[in-house]
Structure 1
Amino acid sequence: MAGRPLPGGGGVCAAAYPNTSAGFPPHLQAGAMRRRFWGVFNCLCAGAFGALAAASAKLAFGREVNVGFCVLGIIMMATTNSLMWTFFSRGLSLSMSSAIASVTVTFSNILNSAFLGFVLYGECQEVLWWGGVFLILCGLTLIHRELPPPRKPLPHKQR
């Protein structure tokens, strides 16, 4: 049965399976871009809430802290930490991959921690530190950009 041809022209044609993937219709492309935007937005919010949680923990457990500030800092730390995990899980579900979500949250957390450290504690970061942040930003732009279309295979030389 394997050696017999299929009746009625039922053979498989190479043109039926092109090498390029089928493009999405415009309404699905718009939905994918919206989903990607909300994934990035949730990851950026998660990083900001993580930085707020760290800053409130530093306020709560500082050396010379009033008991009221300590309690307020612990409550704020628990609240912002739970918000961070909520936004991070939403960002994970909306992102294209977990690596993209994790790097975006890390970048947002580092940047917001530097800002809060400067505003709340007067901490300044070194130039080398900002160079590292710039390299992380370069990596983020590489992983967030759209993947290039697949190249057509080069024709093989025939002997």
Structure 2
Amino acid sequence: MAVAGGPQVVGSGVCAASHSNVSAGFPPHLQAGAMRRRFWGVFNCLCAGAFGALAAASAKLAFGSEVNVAFCILGIIMMATTNSLMWTFFSRGLSFSMSSAIASVTVTFSNILSSAFLGFVLYGECQQVLWWGGVFLILCGLTLIHRELPPTSKALPHKQQ
């Protein structure tokens, strides 16, 4: 059994109580570039949402009712390409984000806006005011989860047990 301050066996667990001076946050090399990491996380998630909307639009164009075979094949290739780009950017966004919930909501917001834009450009669709109200509420939620929370250095009194 290892004693705090004594030699540690490789692969052994670390007790948090024995290392009370160690911060439970991110390591120093991640704290230094936190704003840069947050920017790249949001950027990759926004790109993932846009590529997801492009994949859906290309699938809709490829499998339309009156489409010739060459256009259908081109649409399938474009759908597969944009779908793989969407997953690539989403994976990168997850690796840069502080939590998977933040990345998922950011991708969803980007996908909704991109879908609305592509629907207007390609099909002339206009969204209703209630739809835009929902988008605004998602944006408000995104603002809340992307804001920087103050660090909690002390445990709350009711959680000290």
> Shared fold (TM-score greater than 0.5)?
yes
One of 101, 104, 116 as aligned partner of 2:106 = 104
One of 49, 61, 82 as aligned partner of 2:63 = 61
Which secondary structure does the structure 1 equivalent of 2:33 belong to? helix
Partner of 1:77 in structure 2? Answer: 79
Pairs aligned (count): 137
1: distance between equivalents of 2:32 and 2:114?
30
In the TM superposition, residue 21 of structure 1 has moved relative to its aligned partner by 8.6
In the TM superposition, residue 148 of structure 1 has moved relative to its aligned partner by 2.4
Scaled by the length of structure 2, what TM-score is found?
0.76
1:48 aligned to 2:43?
no
1: distance between equivalents of 2:109 and 2:51?
13
Partner of 1:89 in structure 2? Answer: 91
Which secondary structure does the structure 1 equivalent of 2:116 belong to? helix
2: distance between equivalents of 1:98 and 1:21?
19
Q: Give percent identity, aligned residues only.
A: 89
Pairing 1:1-159 to 2, within 5 Å after superposition = 29-150=31-152
Root mean square deviation, CA, Å: 2.6
Scaled by the length of structure 1, what TM-score is found?
0.77
Distance 1:152 1:83, change over 3 A: closer
Question: In structure 2, what residue type is equivalent to 1:91?
Answer: G
**Quick check: which has more Rg, 1 or 2?**
1
Structure 1 runs of 4+ aligned residues shifted over 3 Å read 27-30, 149-154
Distance 1:21 1:53, change over 3 A: closer
Distance 1:32 1:65, change over 3 A: same
